[in-house]
Structure 1
């Protein structure tokens, strides 16, 4: 399926004006907005939330990124934009989320909200699109988000034992020389008594994981620590994570674990594959690049990662979405070599990832934007009381299946905590 749902770009009227600091952005989202129409991109109190749909695109197959980029370019060309705020993310913005695999049954989406409220660098603004006269309500007027009740858990495609067996097979194939690395994912279903409230999840994720990017696009909700690509004018950056260790809650012990992670040959090998794949993909679009020689340890509340920030100077006119397409899938979410890792994933995971591990983020009318990787996330299902959670681990020759199960459980923790707290 190429593209559908408002495939012809409409002519939008966009107005952006400054407003006083609105406080908690998640609390501004009206309580009667369906989870499918709750949109979010927040980190450390900055970013934006949106709701409603002024324009919407669904696309799929290998052309999903190109279709979306062309549709967005057409929509921008037709729009009338009046903005008092000149920062990336002000004015006309689309939120997007893309399927991991070209043959996924899940469509990829771009959504232009009717209302966006944002904050960046001391500025706050509201954008209304297509004549909407809605004003952002005060957070004090909003009822408390609905807490999930009577949650039940069931395994997805594979239970823990079955997934551990699949990891064992993947390690055998790596040891036999079929490939260097593969990222294996698993899923878990959580069902509550009532439809899940996206605002509840966003409130908890944005508070507990402030240094991640808390996102919500078309019922895909999460807090990703990994920035696939950011484009701001001519500067292109990417944060690569690969190599993980669980935190214990004991600061002194965690510092020792961080030091061991930084020396781990298994984790350094996994990280090197991921950095190399991103640097090679960006090189075709950049006139110069900075790739640090060694990673640093990123500390998150639940885990620690080996991390590398790559930066480059853009040498062509590629939009942030086009750059995300060039980078996807990186070795951090697929493996090395890519084509072989895809084969192993399709053979052993026994599930459609949907939009898990695909690019998620936003693009503005200038082509600037931020696209993270949809990790630490869940997809609210057709049954709105059920959410499908995902977690994945990088597998190399030295991987132990039971250790990977434990790591996957640690990566499920952000969403599980947001649901149960």
Structure 2
């Protein structure tokens, strides 16, 4: 890539600021065409601009996948407690109102600036380690936003007009780093073993015995009629023998799981990252899409017979049906039409098969995507049913804070459109440790050792990305 991108963006910024003084606090956003490169590799190649965010949706039928990378931060909006997403929506609207986009003709079709971030599984009065830097809900409006779709890409630069003079030199240095990262990201992928956890890395956390005991407690609650389903989580702490590079971990898992939604959100020195197979909700205008994903079998020899057994399993079908019924009951009243297939199909990943029901609909009105997230989260796939009682059971029985794991990650724009994934197949990574999580849906008929084995299969992608297996 030529260095013309940097010169072009700075020239556009200068023209935009000369066109007239804005109000105090106004954010000027300029954009220029950029090379198309893998989003996660761009993040891995650019180590100088923080915090980072990433959201890379997979290809889907009749839908353009959108990749978003953010470096730095022009603003952050956060919320806490039961009104966390209402607080985020209100603060974001004020910031979008202060944002002035400047586009030349060659970038007229570029997707506009957007917030990227996520929310925790449940709200907490106090955030326990290792989640102390992650609010109940937190979204970044990056200083640099790379957006790519359908063979096109653009780079946005966002600057508060009154800060332009004082930040000019840092903007130029960051831009040079990003330009170099574009060149590196365009090269063929090369794994870097030195970025792994190292030989002799230790894994501590929920033991087989402890998790089986937790499952048995869940089955007791189900048989007592307290809940119908619950999803306990097993946590593991990886203690490496050498420093971990979260960006390299992200690049490896993104390359290996291209059919999933790859994501990353950095807060402080920790990066929450993963490759989720499950969409929570997407809104494009009044069109919405979501997934019912529950019921799992580990891949192995005789894959076809494993799939047949999964489709025929009363226990797995019951677990799946609870998820689909819950989603339909939440979205049905909000939709003019809702298409819910009668029977699930199979969603296959390199390590597991899932029962999958894709759900599509048309909203009655322009409901903001965050209102849909609030209505759906947490789904029975990550909490249980009835939702409130299952979530309360988890709070009372799980020994480790799960933080943003089984929360939601995604983006939203000024129009209220957005795309969110359920935050699973994920981990929290810093230089000196990584926390990994995996859950299993417990219903009547669940077998504790089999459920523990399911959590091991679900943690495998992150372990591989960390260089453990």
| TM more than 0.5 | yes
Is 1:316 the counterpart of 2:370 in the alignment? no
Output the CA distance in 2 between the equivalents of 1:298 and 1:203: 23
Is 1:260 the counterpart of 2:302 in the alignment? no
What's the CA shift for 1:399?
A: 0.4
Gaps of 5+ in 2: 1-23, 60-64, 128-133, 165-170
Alignment of structure 1 residues 293-304 onto 2, 5 Å: 293-304=342-353
Query: CA deviation digits over 1:298-318, x for unaligned, max 9?
Result: 000010000011111111222
Q: Greater CA deviation, 315-324 or 236-245? A: 315-324
- Which residue of structure 2 lines up, in the alignment, with residue 231 of structure 1? 283
- Which residue of structure 2 lines up, in the alignment, with residue 61 of structure 1? 81
Output the CA distance in 2 between the equivalents of 1:85 and 1:310: 32
Is 1:81 the counterpart of 2:104 in the alignment? no
What's the CA shift for 1:155?
A: 2.7
Output the CA distance in 2 between the equivalents of 1:181 and 1:207: 34
Report the count of equivalent residues. 403
What's the CA shift for 1:85?
A: 4.3
Asked if the contact 1:359–1:372 (Cα under 8 Å) also holds between the matched residues in 2, the reply is: yes
Q: 1:140 to 1:123 in 2, by over 3 A?
A: closer
SS of equivalent to 1:62: helix
Q: Greater CA deviation, 328-337 or 108-117? A: 108-117
- Which residue of structure 1 lines up, in the alignment, with residue 155 of structure 2? 126
Output the CA distance in 2 between the equivalents of 1:365 and 1:372: 19
- Which residue of structure 2 lines up, in the alignment, with residue 389 of structure 1? 436
Q: 1:32 to 1:20 in 2, by over 3 A?
A: closer
What's the CA shift for 1:63?
A: 1.4
SS of equivalent to 1:95: strand
Please point out which of 437, 442, 461 is paired with 1:414: 461
SS of equivalent to 1:355: coil
> Given the two structures, how large is their TM-score scaled by the length of structure 1?
0.90
SS of equivalent to 2:310: helix
Output the CA distance in 2 between the equivalents of 1:57 and 1:167: 37
- Which residue of structure 2 lines up, in the alignment, with residue 207 of structure 1? 255
Gaps of 5+ in 1: 1-8
Please point out which of 328, 338, 341 is paired with 2:390: 341
Output the CA distance in 1 between the equivalents of 2:201 and 2:279: 32
SS of equivalent to 2:466: helix
- Which residue of structure 1 lines up, in the alignment, with residue 411 of structure 2? 362
- Higher Rg of the two aligned structures: 2
- Which residue of structure 2 lines up, in the alignment, with residue 168 of structure 1? 216
What's the CA shift for 1:398?
A: 0.6
Asked if the contact 1:85–1:125 (Cα under 8 Å) also holds between the matched residues in 2, the reply is: no
- Which residue of structure 2 lines up, in the alignment, with residue 6 of structure 1? none
- Which residue of structure 2 lines up, in the alignment, with residue 246 of structure 1? 298
Output the CA distance in 2 between the equivalents of 1:413 and 1:85: 42
Q: 1:247 to 1:297 in 2, by over 3 A?
A: same
Output the CA distance in 2 between the equivalents of 1:312 and 1:153: 46
- Which residue of structure 1 lines up, in the alignment, with residue 31 of structure 2? 16
Q: Greater CA deviation, 101-110 or 236-245? A: 101-110
Is 1:378 the counterpart of 2:418 in the alignment? no
- Which residue of structure 2 lines up, in the alignment, with residue 220 of structure 1? 272
Asked if the contact 1:244–1:304 (Cα under 8 Å) also holds between the matched residues in 2, the reply is: yes
Q: Greater CA deviation, 333-342 or 188-197? A: 188-197
What's the CA shift for 1:16?
A: 2.4
Query: CA deviation digits over 1:163-195, x for unaligned, max 9?
Result: 110101101211222211001111101122444
> Given the two structures, how large is their TM-score scaled by the length of structure 2?
0.81
Asked if the contact 1:15–1:91 (Cα under 8 Å) also holds between the matched residues in 2, the reply is: no
Q: 1:122 to 1:141 in 2, by over 3 A?
A: closer
- Which residue of structure 2 lines up, in the alignment, with residue 109 of structure 1? 138
- Which residue of structure 2 lines up, in the alignment, with residue 97 of structure 1? 118
What's the CA shift for 1:404?
A: 0.5
Output the CA distance in 2 between the equivalents of 1:10 and 1:69: 19
Output the CA distance in 1 between the equivalents of 2:442 and 2:25: 45
Q: Greater CA deviation, 221-230 or 286-295? A: 286-295
Output the CA distance in 1 between the equivalents of 2:197 and 2:121: 31
Q: 1:377 to 1:85 in 2, by over 3 A?
A: farther
Is 1:182 the counterpart of 2:230 in the alignment? yes
Output the CA distance in 1 between the equivalents of 2:460 and 2:201: 15
Q: 1:283 to 1:85 in 2, by over 3 A?
A: farther
Higher helix share: 2
Output the CA distance in 1 between the equivalents of 2:451 and 2:381: 15
Asked if the contact 2:197–2:243 (Cα under 8 Å) also holds between the matched residues in 1, the reply is: no
